[in-house]
Amino acid sequence: MSLLIMNRQVYSGENVSPRNMSTGISTNGSQTNTLSEEDEEYLNMELAKTEDEIQTLQQVLLSKEKYAMDIRRQLGMGPFTEIKQNMSKGWQEVQTSKVYLTASATLEDISQSNVYKRTQESICNAGQMTNAALSTIGMAITKRFGDIRALPSPPRSLTHSISVPAMRPSNIFKSFEEMLGSMTNKVSRSPGNAGETSGFVRSPSQNRGSY
């Protein structure tokens, strides 16, 4: 049997002819390679050449990356701009992916279903009822406060007065002044106190006699 080595043209684009390698069958039925010295030498050469090409491509890639970074720096594109562009590109790829499109179609079907519409209507109605109830409670509380403010205030006692001048316009203070005036007149006109008014007023003759 013979084993056909994969053409290098698949990877490097080179036009290299395929090479046949001899193979054998082991006792347990598995396929084994029995390479000749010529075949082994050829494969070693191919491996060395491929590894050298890989190293060259890595160096070229590194040089291209540095060149691209220099161009971005000259354009004023910092690392954050690059991250933003990568995220935007990734999101666009997600939006165009088959999984995302399938999920979007499923959500669209759900939103158009009768069950979803009935649920949405129920939620809207419940919200409207809640708003109406809260509005009614607020109006009732406001009306209650208005009724309390409209009630007549209790009369103030004398102990709450700030000063006597503030009490003078009141009827209670006027009545008290009139009562004191009447008592003073009665005491001053009594027969036993013709010359004095119970210690309030003394006559001029008594003042002179005291000396």
Asked if residue 20 lies in contact with residue 7, where contact means CB atoms within 8 angstroms, the answer is no
Distance (Å, whole) CA 81 – CA 114:
45
If asked whether residues 8 and 27 sit together in one domain, one would say: yes
Q: DSSP characters for 19-86? A: -EEEEEE-TTS-EEE---HHHHHHHHHHHHHHHHHHHHHHHHHHHHHHHHHHHHHHTT--HHHHHHHH
The count of structural domains within the chain is 3
Q: Residue 82 pLDDT more than 90?
A: no
Distance (Å, whole) CA 72 – CA 87:
17
pLDDT score at 3: 46
Between residues 57 and 117, the one the model is more confident about:
57
H-helix or E-strand spanning residue 100: helix 98-111
If asked whether residues 41 and 27 sit together in one domain, one would say: no
Between residues 97 and 203, the one the model is more confident about:
97
Distance (Å, whole) CA 66 – CA 73:
11
* Position 50 in a domain: yes
* Position 133 in a domain: yes
Q: Residue 83 pLDDT more than 90?
A: no
Cβ partners under 8 Å of residue 4, min gap 6: 18, 19, 20, 21
If asked whether residues 52 and 22 sit together in one domain, one would say: no
Q: What is the pTM of this model?
A: 0.30
* Position 48 in a domain: yes
pLDDT score at 125: 82
**Tokens (6 digits) for 88:** 């935007």
* Position 27 in a domain: yes
Taking phi over 0 as left and psi of -120 to 50 as alpha, with beta for the rest, 154 belongs to beta
Distance (Å, whole) CA 80 – CA 82:
5
If asked whether residues 21 and 47 sit together in one domain, one would say: no
If asked whether residues 107 and 132 sit together in one domain, one would say: yes
Q: What is the mean pLDDT of the chain?
A: 72
Structural domain that includes position 16: 1-34
* Position 128 in a domain: yes
